[in-house]
Structures are given as C-alpha cells and as structure tokens.
Structure 1
C-alpha cells in the first residue's frame, strides 16, 4: 500500500511577504491607475496577482478561496456606497494586505461612512456562510476552511481601528471605541500573531496623535510648493526681481472640492505672473501664505524664477460630521456587537465542523 500525500508547500519567509505588502501600501498611488482599466479590469489583474502571491505560502485552492472571500467583502462596500449615492471604483487587491475601493466622493457624515463600512462585513459574512453550508452539506473540508477564513477576515475587520471597517463604524457609535482599538486592538493583533495588521494599527495611532495631540499644539502646520515663472514678462514690465531670501505675503483664495472634499489654496502674485495651486493634507484655517525662497534658473536659453510658496494653517475638525442621532447610534452599536459575536461563534463552529468532517 502506497502512502499518497499531497506535496507540502515550501515555507516562504513571512518577513519578505510582509515587506512586500508594506512596499505596496506605501506605493498605493502607483496602483490607482489600475482602477481605470474598465469596470473590473484592475480587479481581475490584481486578483490574479494576489492569488499567485498567496499561493506561494498556501495551497492554490486556499488562495483562491481567500481572494473570493475578500472580493465578496469588498463588493459589500461597493453596493453600500451605491445605495448612498456615492460613486466608487471596483475593488483593487493588494497582496497580503487585502483590497480597497476608491470612493470618488467623501461621505457627507459619520452615519454614511458607517453604513458603507458595514456593507463589507455583512456581505462578507453572507459569503462565508455560503461556503460553510456548501462544506457542511457535501462534507467538503476545503469549503469549511474557506468559510473559517471568511469569518475570521470579517471579524478582524471589525476591530475599531481606522481604516478598518470597525474604525469607520465606530464614528457612528462612539469614538471612544477608538481607545479600545488603540489598546485592546494592539493586544489582539499580537495575540493572534497578525503582524501585518500592525501596519494599520500604526497608521491609526499616528492619525489619532494628529487629531487629538497635535491639535492642542498652538503651532500651525505648513505645506509648500514650487512654481516656475517666466522672467521675460517681468523684466519687460520693469518689475524688480526679488532676492533669494525675499519673503512676501501673497494673496490667496481657498475652497474645498465637493467631489473629493480636499481643500485647495489658489495663490497669486500678479506682478510676477504667479498663479499657483496647493492642496492641503487636511481641512484647515489659513494663517498666512508667503514666499519662502526664490531661485533663478535657465532652461533652453530662457530665464525663469522658481518661487517656493508656503502655506501655514491650523487644522480644523468638523465636529458636525460626527453628529449622529442617538437612535442611529444604538442601532449601529447593537448591530456591530451582534455581528462580532456571530462571527466569533461561526469561527468556532467551522473549526469543530472541519474536525468532524475529517
């Protein structure tokens, strides 16, 4: 009698996989053009890449099942955003980190943000239940295991850590849940050895620091940009060319785009022919706009000025965004808790079922 066993997957170094995921996260803007490859063009390409990546450390069937569970989860966000009238892209996958969608317009309030966040875990739970019942009915351990993965992914996503779904749901329940995410969330991540999740925890901790610690600092924040100006019109009009360290307060206008919610600053220095545009990293109250450095350069036998403009501003938090009716808070809070308990129970049930079928 011969012993036929499936070949074991060669173990790959997790540090390498994690490093690859971190690199892709830091280069996220490079992935955004994939969202323009038709409705699901970027999705199909990045799904295939993610399946290949996970297949390096797990059987191909498991890798496919994992990606399908993530896809169902992300489609929950897509459906929820459509229901709220917010245009969005198809999902794009990031190996070892999951997937993302790109909202083309920011939610108008915390309730809308939480509603969209709920869409992922809810539909993801339905998908995992589907795999569970297929595995139970036909006694297929693979489907039970994929169901367990689905339950786990949706449960871990409910941690109250921004930008996970739980962190976004928390804005409509209570932002005090973020404190649990900061402390208890870190303990859970370390306890279950989900070290890749430390990336999200670190981003979350930094965001909280900026919102609630640096906010109390009276010092303004700054952003800057450099603009190129043709010197010929300036000389023809007889205007004085300022020196390198010349500082001048500049006229400006500021506004926020409805589509993406970003605040923009239009900068004017009419004598120099400067009309520049800068984006703020966050909503802010402008303190001053001025030149911080001026440099003369020559390109193709023409003289130009490189004018560096700086914007100093105080961050502004729109607390009205977080105003949610008590009834809605209770509804979202109870749903949040029940879903977390149900997912935990189903993880336990799937583990027992897998052992029973085997």
Structure 2
C-alpha cells in the first residue's frame, strides 16, 4: 500500500492567497450566509478550517478531516438534546478543532458524562464508516482518515478536563483525573503536541486550585458590570453628585432561576437604581460595591456610569458528583470498551493500510 498522504510540495502561500482572494470576492455572499442562521456560521467556519488544513495537507484529506470533527461534535449536540440541554451549533477553529457552547449547564455528573460520551461514540462510528470505505476501495486517503479519526477520538478520551474523557470521569471516579494527570503527560510528550500540553497544564493548575490551594475554603472570584443611570434623582433631592473616584458598598439580593442561573441584584436607593448582574458560576456573595463613576452629560441631563463589582466565593456542590453505583459501572464499562475498540481499530488500520505512523 502507498504511504500516508504527505504534505503538498506547492507553495502554501498560494493557497493562503487564494483563500483571501475568495473571501474578498465573495464577501457579501459569505455575510449573507452568516445571516442565514446558525448553519451558515457552521458552514463558514468549516470552510475556513478546510482552507487552513489544505495549506498543509491535500484538500481531499482536509475536507475529510473536518467532516470527521463535525461528526464528533454532532455526537455532543445529539446527546445534549436528548438530555434537554440547549447548545450552540459547532464552531470550527483552524488547527484547534471545534467546540460547542452550552446555554445551560448539566445539573449532575451523569448528565455531563452522557453528553461527553456522545462525541467520541459518534466520532468512532464516523471513523468506522471511513474505514469500511477504505477497505472496500483500498484507498490510501480513506485509510489515513480512518486512522486519524480513531486516534483523535481516543485522544479525546484522556481523563483530562476539558477533554471528553475528563468529563466522563466525573461519572466514574474522580481518581481517573489523577491517572490522566500522570499518564496523560507521558502521552502528550510522546505525541509532541503543544496544544494538548497547554490543555494538560491548565488541567493540572485547576486541580491544584480545587484540591490544594482552595481545599479548605472556596476560591474567591469577582464579576464586574456597568450601568448608565440618570443623576436627576440626586439633583432633585439636593444631594452632591459623587466624584469619579467615589466608592461605596451596595445593598444586594441574590437569586437563581429554574435553570440554575444565579443573579445578583444591586441597589442604590437615592438614585432609584436597581441593576441585575449574572454570575458565571454559582457562588456565595461576599459584597457588592461601586469601584468607579463616570459623568456623562446628555441632552436629557447628567448621567452616571456606575461601575460595580461583585465579590463572591465559588460554590462547590459535592452532590453534583453523587452518582449511583450502577451508573458508575455502566459508564466505566462503556469507557473501557470504547477506548479498547479504538486502540484495536488503529492497529488494524495500521496493518491493512501500511501507514507510516
């Protein structure tokens, strides 16, 4: 069999220039496609990724590679929909893969693991379909794509956050994170991937913060927000207008909606002001305070831009990781079987396709 596809010998700047010229020539059409909806955005990001990979590899390989990533991300979308979690369409980032954003976070580790497992499961099915096509056609291109598809899904099963394996581990045992921390480093050094090393380093630091630095007390965080309000209430009551460096504590209340999103409502009574600030994570509110004021003169009168800050302690809900024993076994067995299947398929593709990998 021929070897794995090699990088093209043509000058890569030609392809980059061609891509730029295409975007300039079709700019209006691309903008119209983006306005068409979320699928337009997905298609545009896919085309950009194909163009980026085509600079290094043959365009046929680039297209197949991006489609395999799309199938993987589609698995996450389907799993999230099955659990009633609204998610965005996949967005492709050249040389980084693709991602989806959750509009609503899982409420327990089982749901998180289920959604995470959907990606490598459907991704494996997609790579398996490519392998069947390679076997029937004896195609070097399909063998290469199948191998890469199996490898990427296996790599995603490393028990490291935010990889899929790290999220699946939440429903099996968090001790798998320690295995990922130690074993994952050796694997990442072996494959010599800067990107995955950065992911590993961020994961290691997150574990340090969670289980060492902030083990006995929550991690302190803050969020900022700005509000434009009229200064007329102060003027009417005869109060002096506070200066730009004015600072004060603000009374507040906090509440959550049915989806678990936490909000903080701050108040300034003399200004007749109430503002609502969403939190990125659940937290225990310590204080709300004004950090700065800006004076803005408008046609309707003097206005104040209130810059406020909410200080809070990150809330860790240990019940999130309460998983029934039966579910732990199911996810554990499914995890091991999928990883084993991927390793076996990589070996089979390597033998049948005679790939130099």
Shorter-chain TM band = 0.7 to 0.9
| C-alpha contact (below 8 Å) 1:51/1:63 kept by paired residues | yes
Q: CA deviation at 1:239?
A: 2.8
Structure 1 CA distance for aligned equivalents of residues 352 and 219 of structure 2: 58
| C-alpha contact (below 8 Å) 1:35/1:92 kept by paired residues | no
TM-score normalised by structure 1 residue count:
0.84
| C-alpha contact (below 8 Å) 2:73/2:99 kept by paired residues | yes
> Per the alignment, do residues 36 and 109 of structure 1 end up closer, same or farther by CA in structure 2, a change over 3 Å counting?
farther
Q: CA deviation at 1:138?
A: 2.0
Q: CA deviation at 1:222?
A: 2.8
| C-alpha contact (below 8 Å) 1:230/1:304 kept by paired residues | yes
Query: Which residue of structure 2 aligns with residue 222 of structure 1?
Result: 222
| C-alpha contact (below 8 Å) 1:88/1:103 kept by paired residues | yes
Listed as ranges, the gaps of 5+ residues in structure 2 are: 17-32
Which moved further from structure 2: 115-124 or 221-230?
A: 221-230
Matches within 5 A, 1:118-157: 118-157=117-156
> Per the alignment, do residues 301 and 257 of structure 1 end up closer, same or farther by CA in structure 2, a change over 3 Å counting?
closer
Q: Deviations over 1:74-102 (max 9, x none)?
A: 11111111221222232221111111122
Query: Which residue of structure 2 aligns with residue 251 of structure 1?
Result: 251
Which moved further from structure 2: 306-315 or 145-154?
A: 306-315
Structure 2 CA distance for aligned equivalents of residues 165 and 334 of structure 1: 16
Structure 1 CA distance for aligned equivalents of residues 47 and 59 of structure 2: 11
SS of residue paired to 1:112: helix
Query: Which residue of structure 2 aligns with residue 24 of structure 1?
Result: none
| C-alpha contact (below 8 Å) 1:292/1:309 kept by paired residues | yes
SS of residue paired to 1:40: helix
> Per the alignment, do residues 303 and 94 of structure 1 end up closer, same or farther by CA in structure 2, a change over 3 Å counting?
same
> Per the alignment, do residues 170 and 264 of structure 1 end up closer, same or farther by CA in structure 2, a change over 3 Å counting?
same
Matches within 5 A, 1:263-278: 263-278=262-277
Query: Which residue of structure 2 aligns with residue 68 of structure 1?
Result: 67
| C-alpha contact (below 8 Å) 2:296/2:302 kept by paired residues | yes
Q: CA deviation at 1:309?
A: 2.1
SS of residue paired to 1:160: coil
> Per the alignment, do residues 316 and 94 of structure 1 end up closer, same or farther by CA in structure 2, a change over 3 Å counting?
same
Query: Which residue of structure 1 aligns with residue 177 of structure 2?
Result: 178
Structure 2 CA distance for aligned equivalents of residues 280 and 214 of structure 1: 22
| C-alpha contact (below 8 Å) 1:9/1:56 kept by paired residues | no
Matches within 5 A, 1:83-162: 83-162=82-161
TM-score normalised by structure 2 residue count:
0.84
Structure 2 CA distance for aligned equivalents of residues 328 and 47 of structure 1: 36
SS of residue paired to 1:287: strand
| C-alpha contact (below 8 Å) 1:225/1:308 kept by paired residues | yes
| C-alpha contact (below 8 Å) 2:227/2:275 kept by paired residues | yes
> Per the alignment, do residues 89 and 280 of structure 1 end up closer, same or farther by CA in structure 2, a change over 3 Å counting?
closer
> How many residues are treated as equivalent by the alignment?
332
> Per the alignment, do residues 304 and 74 of structure 1 end up closer, same or farther by CA in structure 2, a change over 3 Å counting?
same
Listed as ranges, the gaps of 5+ residues in structure 1 are: 18-33
Q: CA deviation at 1:199?
A: 3.3
Query: Which residue of structure 1 aligns with residue 29 of structure 2?
Result: none
Structure 2 CA distance for aligned equivalents of residues 9 and 196 of structure 1: 26
SS of residue paired to 2:307: strand
Structure 2 CA distance for aligned equivalents of residues 142 and 94 of structure 1: 23
Structure 2 CA distance for aligned equivalents of residues 226 and 131 of structure 1: 52
Query: Which residue of structure 2 aligns with residue 289 of structure 1?
Result: 288
Q: Deviations over 1:253-309 (max 9, x none)?
A: 2123444x4422111112123222223232111112222334444456943333332
Which moved further from structure 2: 87-96 or 263-272?
A: 87-96
